[in-house]
Structure 1
Amino acid sequence: MGETDPGLFGPDSVTWQLHADPVMSVAGIRALYLQALHPRAVRGVAQNSDVRQDAWGRLLRTASFVGGITYGTTPAAERAGARIRGIHRRLDATDPDTGERYGVDEPGLLLWVHCAEIDSYLQVARRSGHPLTDAQADAYVDEQREAARLVGLDPAGVPADTAGLARYFEAVRPQLAATPESAEVASFLKAPPVPWPLLPARLAVWRAVAGTARAALEPWAHELYGWPAPSQAAADRRLRAAGRLLRAVPARLRRQLPPGHILGAVGRLGPGSRPSARRLREEAAGAP
């Protein structure tokens, strides 16, 4: 692949436009809350790292991985996937109830992590005002089967549209539960440890962001955690307010932030490749 390699998705994809939206930061936190409700999945994390100390790292690594495979070249995305698969192959965990040892790369666990992320990205984006039609949302879920392949899943067994995603969650819900490990994740996300000079920022910014992500969970997830669920209308108001606030920051400034995946893609492919929600609106308006 040369300098014009568009990567796995390319500028014509829904993924390219959606992953540039700053509300993805809120969506990533929602995904952590949701992922922690799968006992086997969260134990795999807890038994291979300190949940409270590594949650920052996990969130940042996930964001970097998603940005890299979205806007990087095809070889770079394939290398990133190979690294992830290699790490997962070396890790296992123990079920405290049965003593069973299992690998963290079990397909069922990888599928849970994938679907929790994709559902969070879609839910937060759409409910915060990102202009996605139903057809574009289905296209996004289908495109993300490439991301699932990179982490070791067979794309044929991964939901290909929003209806399939909904069916998956309906089927997996009996396996979900709150555990001491999920409580640790929730405790971290509510008040993550930070150096004391950053405490005012945690109080002013993080609490609002994490609270919005938590509010965006489905009612059944709130029930599992033992929290009172806000009404969907109240949660949507918070999400729309967060969307307006985050999108008010000029895109040219947001893209200067590290690790610079979008700037690298635009430098490689030209200014016409800049992600834009407007492009999705125009495509929707032009659809038959």
Structure 2
Amino acid sequence: MTDLVSPLRARLQQTFNGQATGTPQWMIDLEKGDDEGFFEPGSAVWAVHGAKATIAAGVRALLVQALHPGALAGVHDHSRFKEDPLGRLAGTIRWIYTVTYGSRDAATQASNWVSRLHTKVVGQYDDRHGVSHGYAANDPELLSWVHMAFADSFLAAFHRWGGREVPGGPDAYVREWAVAGELMGVPNPPLTVAEMQHQLMDFDRRGVLERTSRTDDVVRFIRRPPLFPVLRAGYPLLFNGAVATLQPRFQELLDLRPPHVGPVELPTAGPAAAVLRGVGAVMGPRPPAEKHALTRLERLGWASV
């Protein structure tokens, strides 16, 4: 059985961590530091980010981000997402897990590193009316959009596939993860689900969000990314599940809807859950980053209240 699982585990590790075997050094480094970090065991952030639902959440977040032409232009013009999509994914996971599980110093340094990379991400794009706009990845509005796209997606995926309630409720997650937004320079990140939804939809009300040929190109790529062959069978189920959790307005803007036969919508939650359970069976129920964070906490004498 081990011989059958090992190749799949290697491909999954390569996809998520950037290396097929062993533990990445940045993950081992989560054991370092002299403080508990911004989040602790039992927090809403540990619960949400430790669930396998984050895999579907990542797909959903990319779709949501693609609705903002400035965010899309930055990815299109400055990212090697088509040439090295797994490298970009591994980098994003590294930041999320470092902020989630690392010491405060590690989380701050990781965020500052990303912000420095963002200083080079500047340019212009034309909206659907042909009007030219400047963009910068560190622009407060873009930072806010990306932050909320992640938070909204992680919360929606956990609600669908997390298997339990968020500790303290959904507002607790939004409030806690606002710290990550502040580390990245987001001005006044939302502190409640209602506030987050209002701010997200306000982008649409102001006419910022749009679908262009570039949007369609990115959506096609997200629908069929160049995954390892062994992972391709399950991915469409995750994609369909992610689409089904999108707000109806976002589905409309992206011209996406869950699979259907005529007017009958086909199930998406169950098939995606089966894929996530399969990943959990191969990779373990909790992320390895959590184990290294617990090693640091134990060294510091941390104990839950």
Q: Which residue of 2 aligns with 1:170?
A: 201
CA distance in 1, matches of 2:229, 2:166: 40
* Corresponding residue number in structure 1 for 2:235: 206
Alignment pair present for 1:265 and 2:296 = no
Match for 1:171: what amino acid?
A: D
Any stretches of 5+ residues in structure 1 without a counterpart?
274-278, 280-288
- Report the residue type matching 1:166 in the other structure: Q
- Residue 264 of structure 1 aligns to which amino acid in structure 2? H
Q: Give the ranges of 4+ consecutive aligned residues of structure 1 lying more than 6 Å apart after TM superposition.
A: none
TM-score under structure 1 length normalisation: 0.80
Q: Distance in 2 between matches of 1:252 and 1:32?
A: 23
Provide the rounded CA distance (Å) in 2 between the counterparts of 1:106 and 1:11: 33
CA pair 161-150 structure 1, distance change in 2 beyond 3 A? same
**C-alpha distance in 2, partners of 1:178/1:187?**
13
Does the C-alpha gap of structure 1 residues 19 and 200 become closer, same or farther in structure 2, counting only changes over 3 Å?
Answer: closer
| Partner of residue 276, structure 1 | none
Q: Mapping of 1:109-120 within 5 angstroms?
A: 109-120=142-153
Structure 1: distance between partners of 2:52 and 2:214? 29
* Residue equivalent to 2:250: 221
Cα distance change of structure 1 residues 189 and 100 upon mapping to structure 2, 3 Å threshold:
closer
Q: Find the counterpart in structure 2 of residue 283 from structure 1.
A: none
Q: Which residue of 1 aligns with 2:107?
A: 77
Displacement after TM superposition at 1:152 (Å): 1.4
Q: Once structures 1 and 2 are overlaid, which stretch shifts more, 44-53 or 34-43?
A: 44-53
Answer yes or no: is the 8 Å Cα contact 1:129–1:243 preserved in 2.
Answer: no
Residue in structure 2 matched with residue 138 of structure 1 by the alignment: 171
Aligned to 2:92: 62
Identity %: 30
Displacement after TM superposition at 1:210 (Å): 2.0
Change (3 A) 1:135 1:164: farther
TM-score by length of 2: 0.76
- RMSD of aligned residue pairs (Cα, Å): 3.0
- State the secondary structure of the residue aligned to 2:236: helix
Distance in 1, Cα, partners of 2:219 & 2:297: 40
How many angstroms apart in 2 are the aligned matches of 1:138 and 1:9?
15
Count of residues paired in the alignment: 263
Q: How does 1:3-152 map to 2 (within 5 A)?
A: 5-96=35-126, 97-132=130-165, 135-152=168-185
For each residue in 1:153-180, what CA deviation from the matched residue of structure 2 results, as whole angstroms up to 9, or x when unmatched?
A: 23xx211001101111221113111122
Counterpart of 2:292, as a letter, is G
Shift of 1:200: 4.7
Going by fraction, where is helix more abundant, 1 or 2?
A: 1
Q: CA shift at 1:99, angstroms?
A: 4.1
Confirm or deny: 8 A CA contact 1:124 1:239 kept in the other structure: no
Asked if 1:253 corresponds to 2:284, the answer is yes
Distance 1:151 1:133, change over 3 A: closer
- Contact in 2 for aligned 1:93/1:104 (Cα 8 Å): no
Give 3-state SS (helix, strand or coil) of 1:175's partner.
coil
Q: 1:3 to 1:205 in 2, by over 3 A?
A: same
CA distance in 2, matches of 1:246, 1:228: 21
Query: Using the alignment, how far apart are the partners of 1:245 and 1:191 within structure 2?
Result: 16
Take 1:243 and 1:141, find their aligned partners in 2: how far apart are those partners?
A: 24
Q: Which moved more, 1:28-37 or 1:171-180?
A: 171-180
Deviations 1:206-253 (A, max 9, x none): 22222222222222122112234569x968x52355336534735983
